[in-house]
Amino acid sequence: MIWRAIIFWLLGVSLAFADFPRHFKALATIHVQYYGNRNLINDGTRSFYFDAENQLTNVSVVGQWQVSFVYDGLNRRRITQEFTWQSGGWLKTNEIHYLCDGPLVIQERDTNNNPQVTYTRGLDLSLTLQGAGGIGGLLGRTDSNGSTFYHADGNGNITALLDGYQNIVARYRYDAFGKLLGEWGTNADLNHYRFSSMEFFSNPGISGYPRRFYEPNFQRWLNRDPIGETGGINLYGSVGNNPVNFVDPYGLDPWYSWLNPFSYSSGYARSQGVQALNAQLAANDYSGVGDFQQANPTWNGNGNLTAGNMQAVQASANLAADAANGYLNTMQAIVPAGVVSKAEQAAAQAIADANQGGLLSKLLSKCKSNKTPHFHHPWPKYLGGNPEQILEPLPKALHDAYHAGLDQILPRQPGADFYSDLPPDAQAQVLQALNTYTQAFDAQYGTQLYNAMVREGFPY
């Protein structure tokens, strides 16, 4: 056994089921061989071939049959070709072209682009059209012989098809992991959508999920999870070995539970939100949330000191949102919009969770009121403006920018007394500088600060 293990190790990664303890020996002895990116390439009978994107492109048994898959740029399976070995060569026996709506197949066509089978879909387990990858959403199958209608169990496994007269024309039973235990009916072989509402390929004996193929006899995927350990530490494991309670719409995340859509990676999103917030605080020189809260008081409409500086609030919230959006973008790249909408809710929940410390919940509530502008003295008081002015509403960022620029030419550092004590000729120069700068600022940002200054009695 040792030398054989060494050979398999040299070829890739091997699991020799025959070496398992005695109580597993009732199972068939199967040697599985992995290679390259740890994709299954051989199980002793079938050979599997993957492309550079780790997509299964071909399954074959030497001298018997092979099935080939062609994908589009969105990782969707668009063509399936079937061959048999005849007279010393491969003979193509079937070719299916798929028409998709998002990730879901809605029609099968032949090589001449003639519709062969049309699928009617409704709400899936997510109670949306595609949120659960179409699992449990198949309604009807229409071909040249008419329409038949799908029935599924609570996990979206196709259990039967009925014709227009309510006759059962196909019936399927599976074990918990999707292995077909039996099929009955005249249309049982015609229909390919079976366990988890996914297309089943009879010769290879595998189910085609949008991003991976599942081997129900092995109870695992053929290759590693495209999203890595985000989907769980077992990169080949399916739904956490809990297929009764969980499904996997895309072959990505084995822990997704459509019983609770908000559970989709919410822990991950939550940690992202917290990390983003901490990064934002650190970037703004705060050691933590408490430091931020203590260091950023502001005044409410009644003139009372309250916690939370609007600019920092907005910046922190923006960064948390950026992290959530980054997460969502990642999800967007690998799954369709239905799941992203769920992930978006999870991310929003994550941010809310991150805010539970007190400060961050205030951040969000304050961000809601961020449309409330900050108020600016059109003619700064320290540069001679009247004590009582009609304050000019200005976005906080613009307000800060205005003062930062003005500080360059008329710094606040010397204080108000310095400017008020200047002789008239010097004051005139100050006002001229203020005039020039403010008009230049208006021109840059489309504000009306100069007009507001004139309104307040500015003499230039």
Partner 1 sequence: MSSQFKDVDDLTEADLNKFPVWEFLNQDQKSELAVRPVKTTPVKNLDGRVVGTQVRLANGGNVPALIGNVAVNDPHSTKHFLTISIFRSGKRFTMARYHDFDWNRRGPQALADFLEMGIEDVFPISYDLRPLCVGDPAALVGTIEAEPTDKLTRAQIIALAVPKNHS
Query: Cβ 282 to partner 1, closest distance in Å?
Result: 9
Indicate the residue among 363 and 410 with the shorter CB distance to partner 1. 410
* Using rule CB under 8 A, residue 287 touches partner 1: yes
| φ/ψ of residue 95, rounded to 5 | -145, 125
Note whether 309 and 297 are within 8 A (CB).
Answer: yes
Of 189, 225, 220, which is closest to residue 207 (Cα–Cα)?
220
Choosing from 264, 437, 450, 458, the residue that interacts with partner 1 (CB under 8 A) is 437
Pick the stretch among 121-129, 224-232, 292-300, 333-341 that binds partner 1 (CB under 8 A): 292-300
> Residue 362 Cβ, how far from partner 1 at the closest point, in Å?
18
Residue found by looking up tokens 């014709």 in the block: 163
If one asks whether residue 290 binds partner 1 (CB under 8 A), the answer comes out as no
203 CB burial (10 A radius; 0-12, 13-18, 19+): middle
Among 307, 364, 398, 454, binds partner 1 (CB under 8 A): 398
HEC profile for 334-377?
HCCHHHHHHHHHHHHHHHHHHHHHCHHHHHHHHHHCCCCCEEEC
Q: Which stretch binds partner 1 (CB under 8 A): 68-76, 89-97, 205-213, 404-412?
A: 404-412
Among 43-51, 162-170, 251-259, 391-399, the segment contacting partner 1 (CB under 8 A): 391-399
CA atoms within 13 A on the CB side of 207: 28
**433 is a contact residue toward partner 1 (CB under 8 A):** yes
Kindly tell me which of 79 and 422 has the beta carbon lying closer to partner 1: 422
* Residue of 52, 50, 93, 55 whose CA lies nearest to 71: 55
Q: Minimal distance in Å, beta carbon 437 to partner 1?
A: 6
Asked if 274 and 357 touch (Cβ cutoff 8 Å), the reply is no
Q: Closest CB to partner 1 among 122 and 414? A: 414
- The strand pairing partners of 65, in sequence order, are 61, 84
Min dist CB 320 to partner 1, Å, is 17
Give the C-alpha separation, 86 to 296, whole Å.
Answer: 79
**Largest Cα–Cα separation, the chain:** 108
Nearer to partner 1, 46 or 399 (CB): 399
Number of amino acids touching partner 1 (CB under 8 A): 54
Nearer to partner 1, 267 or 411 (CB): 411
Using CB under 8 A, which of 37, 416, 421, 459 touches partner 1? Answer: 416
Q: Which residues pair with 141 in a beta bridge?
A: 119, 148
Cα(177)–Cα(241) distance, integer angstroms: 8
Residue owning tokens 């998709």: 100
Minimum CB distance to partner 1 smaller for 167 or for 444? 444
Per CB under 8 A, the list member of 15, 70, 79, 295 interacting with partner 1 is 295
* Least gap, CB of 332 to partner 1 (angstroms): 24
Q: Which residues bind partner 1 (CB under 8 A)?
A: 283-287, 291, 295, 297-299, 303, 305, 309, 374-377, 380-382, 391, 396-409, 411-418, 422, 426, 429-430, 433, 436-437, 440-441, 444-445
